[in-house]
Amino acid sequence: MNQEILRVANEIGVWLAAAPVVILTAIQAIIYTRLARKTAKELNIPDEKCDRAFKTGLLTAIGPVIAIFIVMVGMMSVIGGPISWLRLSIIGSAPTELTAAKTGADALGVSFGGPDYDLNALATGWWTMAVNGAGWLVFAGLFTHKLEGIRNKVGGGDVKWLAVLSSAAMLGVFGYLNSGDIKKGGGGLIAVIAGAISMVVVIKLTEKLPKIKEYALGIAMLVGMLAAVIFG
Amino acid sequence: MEDKLLNESYEQSFTKHIIGAGRWTLLLSVPLCFLPAIYLWIRYGALPPLGSILTGWFLIASIYGSWYIVEPISYFPILGLSGTYMSFLSGNIANMRVPCAAVAQEVLKVEPGSKKAELVATIGIAGSIITNLIVVTLAAVAGNELFKYFPPIVVKALDFVLPAIFGALFVMFSIKYPKYGVFAIGIGMFLLGVVKVLPTWAIIPICIFTTIGYAVTSFKRKNKADQSREV
């Protein structure tokens, strides 16, 4: 790996160029929180409940985000810190971004992170990551409101029906994700089973201790990870 | 009547603004994402030949192109309107946004799919975005330094964050809807273990929409049975 390339990738100008996207993501979160809180007031949902929802989101994200942290450190050593900062603040997971960066090098015919990986190759990777992310951003930006229209038309505003719809969708996606880990076996399989069993126990516990509800997923996650390390 | 008024005020004060803000934030982020690449071009003249950019685009779109469309549609029934705008800007959907929305709704005991649930999910997802941004910024600034403090056993354990979370969340919903849960895991195992040939971008929507189909049909059947019993 050419150290000169990495020096350029980490220089202050790139930080400044990466910052607007990160800031925009924070701005959107703030706008949406304020809108939701204002509307919650109109629906007579007390402020404490909104605070609790926010806190739950903050806490529940810690586990997954530390896993991202680890991957990101590896990513930074190939494509630089600021661009990893931008890419992992928005749509596109670390493997997706690395695939895009590698694809950029492929398109130029050089090996990703190899001795011939020059500034042009780095730039091609950055262009490729940006056009790839744009796919989701443009589609979701232009068509999300149409999906809302379809849902309302199909459901006719029936709350019970919508509850079934969203819970079934949730089960569908986690059914798929778990199937992958079950099929692979090993530590992943143990983590799935231990996570599942401890969730049952934690849910039973929260009936007596409603205060720990925010931590339910965190506890189940830690038990699942621990079991996988010990028995995997 | 009251419901109708409520719906209208919700529509006016929430839905309309969510769509407006969602649209400009997502579409504005697209050009902003090119800034670092443009910086390399202006500062160092490092502009890849157009052919390479197009080749890169073609290669990457052939891998992820179907996802651009399939993911927003598939996750919409889970995330709702505001959740979709937030999740498709900030990413990490299955591993972070969906779990945070689901747990926030569970903690506050709101009916999934209702207006209250959408508000709670919006605030929960916003919380997860803040955690995400803080940790990612920390990683960018001091990741290499901090990494030294991670013992190898912790790094290994972090490999299992996702399976543990996915298992736990699956159970959280299966307790409420055991029949749909069995169906969902059955269809997932069938497609991955028996059929095997389908690409991932096709498997996820099939899993989601067949489970929805099954749930909605059995929900309607049950409703009908309940009604005829009442009569």
The DSSP secondary structure of B110-176, one letter per residue, reads PPTTSHHHHHHHHHHHHHHHHHHHHHHHHHHHHHHHHHTTS-HHHHHHHTTHHHHHHHHHHHHHHHH
> Residue A210 has which token pair?
């409603």
* A20-40: average pLDDT: 96
% of chain A surpassing 90 pLDDT: 66
Residue type, A39: T
Whether the pLDDT of residue B1 is over 60: the answer is: no
Whether the pLDDT of residue A212 is over 90: the answer is: no
A35 contacts B17 by C-beta, under 8 angstroms: yes
| Pairwise CA distance, residues A86 & A22, whole Å | 6
State the angle between helix axes of A216-231 and B161-176 in degrees (0 to 180), rounded to the nearest 10: 130
| Pairwise CA distance, residues A89 & A127, whole Å | 17
The pLDDT tens digits for A133-143 are 999 999 999 99
The closest alpha carbon to A15, from B42, B25, B141, belongs to B141
Whether the pLDDT of residue B8 is over 80: the answer is: no
**Under an 8 A CB cutoff, do A151 and B76 touch?**
yes
Of A31, A63, A135, the CB nearest to B64: A135
The pLDDT tens digits for B107-154 are 999 988 888 999 999 999 999 999 999 999 999 999 888 888 889 998
> Residue B86 has which token pair?
């937030």
Q: Is B182 on the interface with A (CB under 8 A)?
A: no
| Pairwise CA distance, residues A70 & A141, whole Å | 30
% of chain B surpassing 90 pLDDT: 64
Measured in residues, chain A has a length of: 232
**Under an 8 A CB cutoff, do A123 and B192 touch?**
no
| Pairwise CA distance, residues B12 & B215, whole Å | 32
Distance from CA of B156 to the nearest CA of A (A): 7
Measured in residues, chain B has a length of: 231
**Under an 8 A CB cutoff, do B128 and A108 touch?**
no
Which of B:46-85 have CB within 8 Å of A?
46-48, 52-53, 55-57, 59-61, 63-65, 67-69, 71-78, 80-82, 84-85
Whether the pLDDT of residue B5 is over 90: the answer is: no
Decide if the complex's ipTM is over 0.85.
yes
Residue of B nearest to A210 (CA): B107
B14 three-class SS: helix
B165 contacts A63 by C-beta, under 8 angstroms: yes
**Under an 8 A CB cutoff, do A29 and B86 touch?**
yes
